[in-house]
Amino acid sequence: SQQGEEDPQALSIQEGENATMNCSYKTSINNLQWYRQNSGRGLVHLILIRSNEREKHSGRLRVTLDTSKKSSSLLITASRAADTASYFCATGINDYKLSFGAGTTVTVRA
Amino acid sequence: DAGVTQSPTHLIKTRGQHVTLRCSPISGHKSVSWYQQVLGQGPQFIFQYYEKEERGRGNFPDRFSARQFPNYSSELNVNALLLGDSALYLCASSSVGLADYEQYFGPGTRLTVT
């Protein structure tokens, strides 16, 4: 079973707009990570947020974490065509294993 | 520096056959993890090896096995292939093999079982 669940499953936005996706998880975590996957290829690490952090930024990415609600959000600002990809949240399980959600597919229209 | 490499890129096998997938981690990384990603789903954890020892195993049948070599490269073996084994197989390396740290993924091996 998967620990995290992303919402929405799919998102279509215009270039320049912001994209927001959410992740909910079931059990306590040490950290939560977001990954991007282009066209069924390898995953690229975007950002890691630890359980004692509430917000983290990296370039056009902003991640929030609410441990009381067991949820996280990823915001991509000023989207570009190159942001078209699937985005996955992943939580650390048993210290070594990452548990991924089913992902949000983002399409950025020119 | 080279990233994580995987071979082959694509593979087509017949039901009942055996397959071996290979992974070379980033230089200096001692941990390799294997994930299976079925179309439309997120990656599912199969194995992790650290310093040539199996650290963990996901909910996969005994048909799946793996090993790590002294140079930290790894092989994933799947016996008696089923149609449901068709997936993208991803290898990830990290320096310490803990989920508290970033995992570096390879491009994957696309396995099709007919």
Q: Which phi and psi (to 5°) does residue A63 adopt?
A: -120, 135
Tell me the longest C-alpha to C-alpha distance in chain A.
Answer: 42
- Which letter does DSSP use for residue A82 in this model? G
For the residues A50-72, what does the mean pLDDT come to? Answer: 96
Residue B63 is predicted with a pLDDT of: 98
Q: What is the chain B residue with the closest CA to A51?
A: B100
A76: tokens are: 């991509």
B15: tokens are: 């039901």
Contact B45/A99, CB-based, under 8 Å?
Answer: yes
For the residues A82-88, what does the mean pLDDT come to? Answer: 97
Q: What is the chain B residue with the closest CA to A9?
A: B40
- Structure confidence by residue, pLDDT tens digits, A20-33: 999 999 988 888 99
- Structure confidence by residue, pLDDT tens digits, B79-89: 999 999 999 99
Residue A8 is predicted with a pLDDT of: 93
B41: tokens are: 């789903």
Q: What is the chain B residue with the closest CA to A31?
A: B100
pLDDT band at B1 (very low <50, low <70, confident <90, very high): low
User: Are B1 and B29 spatial neighbours (Cβ–Cβ below 8 Å)?
Assistant: no
Local structure of B47: helix, strand or coil: strand
- Structure confidence by residue, pLDDT tens digits, A34-46: 999 998 788 999 9
Between CA A54 and CA B35 the distance in angstroms is 29
Between CA B74 and CA B7 the distance in angstroms is 11
Mutation choice for A interface testing from B46, B102, B112 by most A CBs within 10 A: B102
**Which chain A positions have a beta carbon within 8 Å of B4's beta carbon?**
42
For the residues B27-46, what does the mean pLDDT come to? Answer: 94
Q: Taking CB atoms and an 8 Å cut-off, how many pairs form between chains A and B?
A: 81
Between CA B68 and CA B36 the distance in angstroms is 18
What are residue B109's DSSP bridge partners?
B89
Between CA A52 and CA A73 the distance in angstroms is 15
* Backbone Cα Rg of chain B: 13
> Which stretch of DSSP H or E encloses residue B36?
strand B31-37
